[in-house]
Chain A
Amino acid sequence: MRKYLYIFKTEVMTNLQYAFDILIGFVSYCIMIFIFLNLWHYIYSDPKELINGYNMNQMIWYVIITEILWMSLGGRKLCKKICEDVRSGNIAYNINKPYNYVEYSLSNHLGLVTVRFILVGILGMVLGLVFLHSTPIQSIFQVIAVIVSCFLATVINILLITSLGLISFFIEDANPFYWIYSKMILVIGTLFPIEFFPQVLQPIIKYSPIYVVSYGPAKLFVDFSLDSFIGIIIAQIIYLIIGFSVCHLIYNKGVRKLNVNGG
Chain B
Amino acid sequence: MLTEVKNQFKVAFTSIKYALQREMLNKVTFITNILFMILNNSCFIVQWIILYSLKENVGGYTLKEVLLLWGLAASTFGASRFFFKDAFNLTEVINDGKLDVYLIQPKNVLISCITSSVDVSAIGDMAYGYIMLFIYGISIKNFLLFTFFTICGALTITAVSIIFSSLTFWFGKIDIVANTINSLMTSFATYPDGIFKGVIKVLFYTIIPIGFINYLPVKIISDFNICYLLMVIFVAILFITIAFVVFYKGLKKYSSSNLMNVSV
Q: Quick check: is A35 within 8 A (CB to CB) of the other chain?
A: yes
Question: A38: which B residues are within 8 A, CB to CB?
Answer: 191, 195-197
Chain B interface residue number, banded: 20 to 34
Q: A27 contacts B28, CB within 8 Å? A: no
Residues 123-148 of chain B, each 1 if its beta carbon lies under 8 Å from chain A, else 0: 00000000000000000000000000
Main secondary structure of the interface of B (DSSP, over half): helix
Question: A35: which B residues are within 8 A, CB to CB?
Answer: 187-188, 191
Expressed in whole angstroms, the Cα–Cα distance for A172 and B51 within the complex equals 37
**Whole-angstrom distance from the CB of B42 to the nearest CB of chain A?**
8
Q: B32 contacts A173, CB within 8 Å? A: yes
Closest residue of chain A to B32 (Cβ to Cβ) is A176
Residues of A21-58 contacting chain B, CB below 8 A: 24, 27-28, 31-32, 35, 38-39, 41-43, 51
Q: A172 contacts B58, CB within 8 Å? A: no
Q: A179 contacts B37, CB within 8 Å? A: yes
Q: A39 contacts B195, CB within 8 Å? A: yes
Q: A172 contacts B187, CB within 8 Å? A: no
Q: Which of B76-84, B176-184, B221-229, B247-255 contacts A (4 or more CB under 8 A)?
A: B176-184
Q: A179-B40, A183-B40 are in contact. List 15 more A-B contacts (CB 8 A).
A: A24-B176, A28-B187, A38-B197, A39-B51, A42-B59, A43-B54, A43-B58, A171-B29, A173-B32, A179-B37, A179-B39, A180-B36, A184-B43, A188-B46, A197-B50
Q: Can you report 25 A-B residue pairs in the complex whose CB atoms are below 8 A from each other?
A: A24-B176, A27-B179, A28-B183, A31-B183, A31-B184, A31-B187, A35-B187, A38-B197, A39-B58, A39-B191, A39-B195, A41-B195, A42-B55, A42-B194, A43-B55, A172-B29, A173-B32, A173-B33, A179-B39, A183-B43, A186-B43, A187-B44, A187-B47, A188-B46, A196-B54
